[in-house]
Every structure is written in C-alpha cells, then in structure tokens.
Amino acid sequence: MDKRSIFIISAAVIALACFFQFSRMDGFLHFASPKNESTLTKIEESAEVDGIELPTSSRETYLIVYDPHSVDSTFARHRLEWLLKQIKKESVSITVDDMVKFVPQNYRGVLIATGRVGLIKFIDKINDYVEAGGSAALFMHPDTELGDDDTRARAYRGLGIESAGAEVNVWGIRVLTDFIFGGKGYDSSRSDGTWYTATTLTLAPDASIEMETIDGVPLVWQHPYGAGRYMAFNGSVRDDKENIGILMALIAHCGDDAIYPVLGVKLFFIDDFPAPAPEGNYEKIYDELGLSTVDFYRTVWWPYMKDLARRYDLKYTGLIIETYGKQVTGPFAPSNGRQARDNLIVYGRELLDMGGELGLHGYNHQPLEVDGFLTPELYKKHDYVGWPNKGEMVAAMKELYRYAKESYPDYEFRSYVPPSDILDENGHEAVAEAVPTLKVYSSIFEGLTEDKAYYQDFVRNDDGTYEIPRITSGYSPTRINAWVVISLANYIGVFSHFVHPDEIFYEESKDLSWGMMHDSMRAFLDESFTRYPWYRAVTDSECADLLGDYLDMDYDVVREEHGMRLTTRGNKHPLRFILRSNHVIDENNVVGGNITAIADSTYLVETTGSEVMIRWSD
C-alpha cells in the first residue's frame, strides 16, 4: 500500500472518529437549531388613514342597576363592570333607589343586575326609555316576592312575563337561535351537570325564546316593547365562568350594530410532551392494538395528533417534562435516560416543524407549591409531595431549563404550564426566577375552589408576563365542554384545549378504549370548528402577543345612516371584532379591513389599518 493510500485511509478514520465524537456530544443540535419565529401579521407603524386624525376615546356607556342589599346583585354589578371594562366600554352603576340619577339618553343600554325588579323605584323610566327605542337586559332570574307588587307588574310587562311561579333548579340546556352566536342547535342532557336556578314562568306571545332548558323553561328571551326591546336571562351571574358568553350576548344586543373586540384564536396544548415514555406493555393498549406503550406513542398516538393538526389547522404547544420522580429537594440530577432525550429531540423538532411551540412543564410532575398549600386529602389522592421552599422549586426549574436548552440551545422557552394546574405564589415566583425568557403562564379558566387549582383570566401581570388559561380538556370532552366552547366564543373568541399523551392510562378513562377516545376527540373538534371556522391557529406565546394588543388597544365607533366607521389605535397586529347587526353587509363594501358573516346577524371584522369603513348593503 503506497503512502498516499495510507494517508487517505488515516484521514478517513480520523474524520469518522471526529464525526462520531461530535455526534456523541450533540454537536449537530447546534446546526440549524430551531428558533422562535412568530407567524403573526404586523401592521405598519403609521397605519392611520391619510387625513384622519384619531380621536380621543369616546367610549359607549352602559347603566347598571343593582340592589346594594343583595350579595348576588352586588357581585353581578362588579362582574358586569369588569366585563365592560375589558371590551373598552364605560359603565355607571346606580342602586334600585337612585331615581334622580337615571338619565337614559346617555346610555347604550340598561343592565339590570338584580332579579328584585319590584324594588326598582324608577322602573317606569326604564320602560319609557325602552319604549322610545332603548334596550334593557335583565341578568338575574326574576324574584316574585320582594318589593312592590305594582312595580313588579310593570317590570314584568316590559320583560314580557305574563306570570311567574317558584324558584327551581333546572338542568340541561337547548340553544334555539344564534342570539348566542354559533350556538344554534346545541343541546345537552339533564345529566351533564349544566344547571341553573331559574323562575318558572309564562311569557307573552310576542316574546322570542332564544335558549331554554331541556324541560322547556325559558332561559334567555327577547321581548319587543314599543320601539325598543327587553332581554332577559332567567339564571344568575355566578362566580363560575361557563356562562360568561350569555352575559356578553346580552350586552351585545343592547342597541343596534353593537361591536366589541375578541382575540379570535384557537390554542391546543399537549401536557407532558415531549416526556419520558413508559417502558413495557400496558395491558389495555396491548389488548386493543397489540403494541407496547412506546410503539403506541410512536406509531398510533403521535400520527393521530399530527393528523388532527392537519385536519383542523392546529398549532400545538408542547410542555416538556424531564422526569416522573417525586424529588423535591436538591441537587436535581440531569435525566440519564437516552430515550427521554431522544423523544425531546425527535418529537420536539417534529412539533416545531408543524408550526408549534415548546414550553416548560416541570422537572417532575410535582406541582410547585410549598408543603401545606394543599389539603392532606389532595396530597393523598393525587400522590403529591409538597416542596419545602421556593429555593428548591427554583433549583428544579433551572435544571429543567438547562435540560431543554441543551437540546434547543437557540430556542427561547416562553410558555409554562403548571403540573396538575396547581401553582401557589411561591411557585409562580420560582418559575419567573428560573426561566429568564418566560412570557406566559397557562393553567385553567375555572373549576372547584376545593381543588386548589391555579385559575386564571386573560390578563397581563405587573412584570409583563401574561395569563392565558386553557378552557377545555381531554380526549372525550363532555357536552359541558361543548357549551363552554360556545360561551367563550361569545365572550372573547378563544378556543383553548389541552390533552395528555397518557390519558388512556388514567382511572377516569377505564371505560374508554383508544378507538372511543380517537372518535370522541374528532367529534368534539368537528363540532367546535363547524361552529367557529374563523379561529386562527396560534401557539401560547403568539397568543400572548395578541392578548397584549387586546389589552392595549382602544377604539371608537361612529354609526352613520349608511354604515359604521371603526377607528383603532395602540395595536401592533390586526385586530378582530364581533359585529352584531341586522344589516346586510357585503364583504366588498368594507375599506380598511375584512368582514365575514359567521352566524345569523353576526360578522367578524378584521382590521388591516387604523380605520375601517363598513357600508350597509341593504
């Protein structure tokens, strides 16, 4: 063999050795390492129309009437004030005794936050206001006892109530129209857990029922009164949030051509993914599909999830977990499992290639709460271990952050979802301290107080991070979940769902096969996006950018004989609004934006600049 051949062979051996050593040290992860790239459209900084000077805010104002002696009514007043403030409307609140403060011509609508209508001393003034063309809405089921009988009778006349009986608990709902837009045709069973405290009543023949119980008790209706109309919700403003869409629908029907902002987005979270996959066979999966758990994840579950993303235009936010141990004191050792790390790289890159986002879940699955925050029953029931202090939480989250950055060195991890949706104040601070790029916390929207979960609203924190809750969950959503989708569409225009890869192993899923879960999830998404096909897919941190606009922007509305002028400011991205109008509107009759009919007398308006001019086509 000549010297040249020996040199070539030696060089090849050295090159291969360098290749394998570089690979062993994960050097290739640093080539084309994924980075965060938002796909959101931005508007030009100077988006205002030539010659148009943006006016100072002249917000629409609503009058809230409440009973200060009723806890329920006072709560309803505050809930309505909060809701109006969120959609950039003003409110004035007066008590049922404040006759001299009622000046109806100044208000877009009158919101009656008490069922004790017999106590409203100025009910005749409200009737006169409605009869002259105004709108009034009742937000609590009508009381039949308190107050003056004659006053109550005059209130009932405006509301279209011919007779009222007992207060009862009613179960199950049926949505008859698009008063709650996109909801027409929804119904639930008596056993699904949806209930209201309502008044049994008989309505006038000219009242139109928009929503009722399965047994036919009216829940939402409208009643024409002179040139105006009354609306009513035969329920109550409770501290749960599943009916918040009803409140918004009532507000949106006050006056003609009502408009309010929404986010108009759909989010989908996969908790515990990427994460270590259980080894071996799980009897339920093996019996049904003949697969090990690892093979089930790779050949069945993940292809199914990718198909859902294509079919329903979803962007996944995956939440990384490093181990499933119970360690709550340091030092927190790095995971030594090669399979877990391979899962993080392979599944994670595929998720990112689909337009998704990787966020952080936990070093392990122990909720970040100092020992004693939960009840002994919860610790035992869920096999939780409380953390001794915030410092240990910080150390564990720093290890998770290091673990994730090792595989994705150029990626900014911006999203955090607490394990089991539990997070105390110490845990909240620990995450912020450990993850310098953190942008958004995502837990859940509502639930039972005794569960000690971290419940959220759509808000921005003082440190600039955001709270973006998940709304529904699971592979076999209930009819209540389907109702909440409708309610949140009317409230803020958000679909937000989460699942876990291992839900088929849960005790709650013991009666469900994979095939049943597979079909149930598709049916839920089919129904949701048939009702609301206009949602745009976003990741968690992309939604935070849009939520920032939603909170920062302001707008003015000028209604003209032949159309409407909408002027906006303070936003970096196109805004979305819901317009409730009986006018016919052609999509070509809009300048400065786009408009789409999305339900009966309901339109989606999307801005492309700072001013949108909408012309009626009728």
Q: pLDDT per residue over 548-569, tens digit each? A: 999 999 999 999 999 999 999 9
Q: Where is average pLDDT lowest: 87-101, 124-138, 363-377, 464-478? A: 87-101
Contact present, 384 and 378 (Cβ < 8 Å): yes
Secondary structure class of 59 (helix, strand, coil): coil
C-alpha to C-alpha distance for 300 and 476, rounded to whole angstroms:
17
Percentage of residues in the chain with pLDDT exceeding 90? 81
Q: pLDDT per residue over 163-177, tens digit each? A: 999 999 998 899 999
Q: Which residues pair with 460 in a beta bridge?
A: 466
**pLDDT at residue 442 in the model:** 98
Residue 368 tokens read as 């970040």
Q: What is the mean pLDDT of residues 43-64?
A: 57
Q: Is the pLDDT of residue 200 over 80?
A: yes
**pLDDT at residue 9 in the model:** 55
Q: pLDDT per residue over 241-279, tens digit each? A: 999 999 999 999 999 999 999 999 999 999 999 988 877
Residue 179 DSSP code: S
3-state DSSP: the chain helix, strand, coil percent, rounded to 5? 35, 25, 40
pLDDT interval class at 141 (50, 70, 90): very high
**pLDDT at residue 385 in the model:** 97
CATH numbers and ranges of domains, the chain: 32-58+553-618 (no CATH), 67-255 (3.40.50.880), 267-478+493-515+528-533 (3.20.20)
pLDDT interval class at 92 (50, 70, 90): very high
C-alpha to C-alpha distance for 105 and 97, rounded to whole angstroms:
19
Residue 593 tokens read as 């934006």
Q: Is the pLDDT of residue 368 over 80?
A: yes
In the numeric block, the tokens 């009973």 are attached to 67
Q: What is the mean pLDDT of residues 79-102?
A: 92
pLDDT interval class at 21 (50, 70, 90): very low
Say what the alpha-carbon torsion angle 557, 559, 562, 566 is, to the nearest 10 degrees.
0
C-alpha to C-alpha distance for 327 and 225, rounded to whole angstroms:
66
Q: Is the peptide bond before 418 cis (omega within 30 degrees of 0)?
A: no
Q: Is the pLDDT of residue 72 over 80?
A: yes
∠450-455-459 over CA atoms, to 5°? 160
| Number of other residues whose CB lies within 10 A of the CB of residue 287 | 10
C-alpha to C-alpha distance for 37 and 234, rounded to whole angstroms:
47
Q: Where is average pLDDT lowest: 324-333, 337-346, 456-465, 473-482? A: 337-346
Q: What is the mean pLDDT of the chain?
A: 91
Q: pLDDT per residue over 587-609, tens digit each? A: 999 999 999 999 999 999 999 99
**pLDDT at residue 14 in the model:** 54
**pLDDT at residue 50 in the model:** 36
| Beta carbons within 8 Å of 188's beta carbon, 6+ residues apart | 172, 173, 174, 194, 214, 479, 480, 482, 483
Q: What is the mean pLDDT of residues 81-97?
A: 96
In this prediction the pTM is: 0.92
In the numeric block, the tokens 């999509």 are attached to 587
Q: Is the pLDDT of residue 118 over 50?
A: yes
Secondary structure class of 169 (helix, strand, coil): strand
**pLDDT at residue 41 in the model:** 78
| Number of other residues whose CB lies within 10 A of the CB of residue 19 | 12
Q: Is the pLDDT of residue 102 over 80?
A: no
Residue 564 tokens read as 């409407």
Q: pLDDT per residue over 452-473, tens digit each? A: 999 999 999 999 999 999 999 9
* Cα 98 versus chain centre, distance: 37
C-alpha to C-alpha distance for 399 and 334, rounded to whole angstroms:
7
| Number of other residues whose CB lies within 10 A of the CB of residue 274 | 27
Distances (CA, A) of 437 to 23, 36, 359, 464: 28, 11, 11, 11
User: Does an H or E element contain 593, and which?
Assistant: strand 593-599
C-alpha to C-alpha distance for 400 and 390, rounded to whole angstroms:
15
Residue 387 phi/psi, 5-degree rounding, is: -80, 145
DSSP per position, 275-325: -PPPPS--HHHHHHH---HHHHIIIIIHHHHHHHHHHHT--EEEEEE----
Contact present, 444 and 467 (Cβ < 8 Å): no
**pLDDT at residue 106 in the model:** 77
pLDDT interval class at 297 (50, 70, 90): very high
C-alpha to C-alpha distance for 13 and 578, rounded to whole angstroms:
66
Task: Determine the residue type at 568.
Answer: T
Q: Is the pLDDT of residue 56 over 60?
A: no
**pLDDT at residue 152 in the model:** 97
Q: What is the mean pLDDT of residues 67-80?
A: 97
**pLDDT at residue 180 in the model:** 98
Q: Which residues pair with 360 in a beta bridge?
A: 320, 416
Q: Is the peptide bond before 331 cis (omega within 30 degrees of 0)?
A: yes
